[in-house]
A and B are shown apart, each in its own frame.
Chain A
């Protein structure tokens, strides 16, 4: 009853958006598609929600083929598109009521399922959807996607444009929904959210780079990651890129994440090199890799 994707490809005119992608989401799993903008996440979502037909390959959602049984899928999935797509001139309650009605159910019938989410916006239920904040819009959209008790929930970049607190709350809600036997496929460009999924697929330029649990993916990273700091960020970056033993260099918050080509790496040697380049307050320390590091490493190839 999960999702099965086999060798799916899709091109727009001459641009290949999705290239030969295969993966499987197990029933009840919270599965993340992690990748930057333009990686093909939305195209994949649209193929799985029967909005687009793939050029090649097959896919099944909740046991139904996405092309032949598209009508059955449209009865049994919930879909929250990347862009806020509810009726702005309808109030919260009217939107929710509308989606309940067209799916042949009512708010009361499935209230327990959306209670968690809906309770937070219910005090504003007579406010028009167009006048809501980003976080509230997102909660309303999730309520609307859930109101018919879908078997599979598709969330395309649900947290884009949402404040950090709401993002955190949102992921907690997803975790609780998962307990109610709903399979969830969620996409996000934020690497920190990836760690909250059961399994993730790293996707870039229409191809899957790696599939595994977030912990396992991090462990696969062969290199040690160093946090490097200097007062002049730009000077530090160019200096590190010029360093002959540098393997990868990319900015990470206020630090630069650095990996070295050699097995035996002496941080003092690098520190001296950097100080010779007139950089001040240089500090180098070993750090725990996270999914972003893995992503950067994989996407180098």
Chain B
């Protein structure tokens, strides 16, 4: 045990004396969470739009005012003819144009329907569809106001309610996602690098010719990173709660325990990588390319798994991050407990055991 502790102490020396790894360890999580939280966002907020009002009557004025008054849109300019629409988009400073047909009020009163054209810049499809939805719903609510007291035969107005993230705040989706990326990268990359560094510097040769068992070396490498990654997870959750006012619906302790489980899964992956490669460079490349891409693309962090082609959906099942994101979202946003998440938890445990067993089998007790 004393030998083991001596080894762990040495690992801590390595980590705290290497400015670069310290920066990756603690700088990256903070930078990423702030970046994702503030800069990269799908939210609709003060979007600049233009209005082409060919009718200029009471109704169109009211609708325009209503749209301008909402916090989602700002009317940047008024156009005078349809020819100007394309030019306006090309300038790039507006995201949508609302085009009222001629004699809008007249049509509305006489025929019972008026037409409004909504044009959006679909170079960013997610934002475009969000904009159309928002504008449509503003117009719809205006319509309801107008119809109050008027008897209509049938009227359906769907009431859409977004549950779990009612304000559609994308940062709430990013916090679990970023947490997954950070824990995965830091744990897997740092362990695989620290083990291959011993190989590269030749110190592995001396460690092998010592009474330390392979189990002691592996666990000794992992223990410091479990602690540090836990601190990381705590920093991310703390930033989510304080900076982004994210409510944690579920049990924090359960979230903590699941995070530890996922950290161990990632560490096991890191060890597995290091048993297969010889240099720090390859270890880093494999961790970055082999882990980061699947975590971002196939875990459901950015692209919903349900809208992927079938083969990718199948592949996504072997990405550990997919299961942890499900767990993290479940606890943070839905507030569900282990009763709902036991399946995902078991899958993660299974993967961890598999990775560890494989690494111990592959770990070489000699040089070749």
Q: Which residues of A contact B (CB under 8 A)?
A: 46, 49-53, 70-71, 74-75, 77, 79, 81, 83-90, 94, 97-99, 101-104, 144
A161 vs B9: C-alpha distance in the bound complex, in angstroms? 31
Looking at A46, A75, A77, A144, which has the most chain B CB atoms within 10 Å of its CB?
A: A46
- Chain B contact residues: helix, strand, loop or mixed: helix
Please state if B14 and A74 are interface contacts (CB–CB under 8 Å): no
10 A-B residue pairs with CB within 8 Å: A50-B208, A52-B368, A71-B211, A74-B209, A83-B202, A85-B201, A88-B201, A103-B3, A104-B2, A104-B211
Which residues of A have CB within 8 Å of B208?
A: 50-51, 74
A86 vs B203: C-alpha distance in the bound complex, in angstroms? 6
A8 to chain B, nearest CB (A): 15
Q: How many CB-defined contacts (below 8 Å) exist between A and B? A: 78
Q: Flag B17-41 by CB within 8 Å of A: 1 or 0 each.
A: 1100000000000000000000000
Please state if B205 and A85 are interface contacts (CB–CB under 8 Å): yes
A85 vs B197: C-alpha distance in the bound complex, in angstroms? 11
Instruction: Indicate which residue in B3, B209, B365 contacts A101 across the interface (CB closer than 8 Å).
Output: B3
Please state if A51 and B6 are interface contacts (CB–CB under 8 Å): no
A52 vs B365: C-alpha distance in the bound complex, in angstroms? 10
Which of B111-156 touch A at CB < 8 Å?
none
A161 to chain B, nearest CB (A): 14
Q: Across the A-B interface, give the 8 residue pairs with the lowest CB-CB distance, nearest first.
A: A101-B6, A85-B202, A51-B367, A79-B209, A89-B17, A83-B202, A49-B209, A102-B3
Given contacts A46-B367, A87-B14, A89-B18, contact A77 B209 (CB under 8 A): yes
B270 to chain A, nearest CB (A): 20
A159 to chain B, nearest CB (A): 18
Which residues of B have CB within 8 Å of A104?
A: 2-3, 211
Question: Does B90 make an interface contact (CB < 8 A)?
Answer: no
Residue on A nearest B364 in the bound complex, by CB: A51
A205 to chain B, nearest CB (A): 21
B250 to chain A, nearest CB (A): 41
Which residues of B have CB within 8 Å of A88?
A: 201
List 16 other contacts, CB 8 Å, given A87-B203, A102-B3.
Answer: A53-B366, A71-B211, A74-B209, A79-B206, A79-B209, A81-B205, A84-B202, A85-B201, A85-B206, A90-B14, A94-B13, A98-B9, A99-B210, A101-B2, A103-B211, A104-B2
A86 vs B205: C-alpha distance in the bound complex, in angstroms? 10
Instruction: Indicate which residue in B14, B17, B202, B212 contacts A102 across the interface (CB closer than 8 Å).
Output: B212
Please state if A51 and B13 are interface contacts (CB–CB under 8 Å): no
Which residues of B have CB within 8 Å of A52?
A: 366-368
A49 to chain B, nearest CB (A): 5
Which residues of B have CB within 8 Å of A102?
A: 3, 6-7, 207, 210-212
Question: Does B10 make an interface contact (CB < 8 A)?
Answer: yes
A172 vs B211: C-alpha distance in the bound complex, in angstroms? 29
Which residues of A have CB within 8 Å of B18?
A: 89
Looking at B13, B202, B211, which has the most chain A CB atoms within 10 Å of its CB?
A: B211
Please state if B366 and A87 are interface contacts (CB–CB under 8 Å): no
A81 vs B208: C-alpha distance in the bound complex, in angstroms? 12
B217 to chain A, nearest CB (A): 10
Instruction: Indicate which residue in A53, A75, A98 contacts B10 across the interface (CB closer than 8 Å).
Output: A98
A49 vs B367: C-alpha distance in the bound complex, in angstroms? 11
Which residues of A have CB within 8 Å of B14?
A: 87, 89-90
Please state if B203 and A85 are interface contacts (CB–CB under 8 Å): yes
Residue on A nearest B212 in the bound complex, by CB: A102
Please state if A81 and B10 are interface contacts (CB–CB under 8 Å): no
Which residues of B have CB within 8 Å of A75?
A: 211
Instruction: Indicate which residue in A53, A71, A81, A94 contacts B206 across the interface (CB closer than 8 Å).
Output: A81
A90 vs B212: C-alpha distance in the bound complex, in angstroms? 19
Please state if A87 and B210 are interface contacts (CB–CB under 8 Å): no
Which residues of B have CB within 8 Å of A50?
A: 208-209, 366
A131 vs B6: C-alpha distance in the bound complex, in angstroms? 23
A251 to chain B, nearest CB (A): 34
Which residues of B have CB within 8 Å of A51?
A: 205, 208-209, 366-367
A85 vs B367: C-alpha distance in the bound complex, in angstroms? 15
Residue on B nearest A100 in the bound complex, by CB: B6
B323 to chain A, nearest CB (A): 37
Residue on A nearest B203 in the bound complex, by CB: A85
A293 to chain B, nearest CB (A): 35
Which residues of A have CB within 8 Å of B2?
A: 101, 104
Which residues of A have CB within 8 Å of B209?
A: 49-51, 74, 77, 79
Please state if B202 and A81 are interface contacts (CB–CB under 8 Å): yes
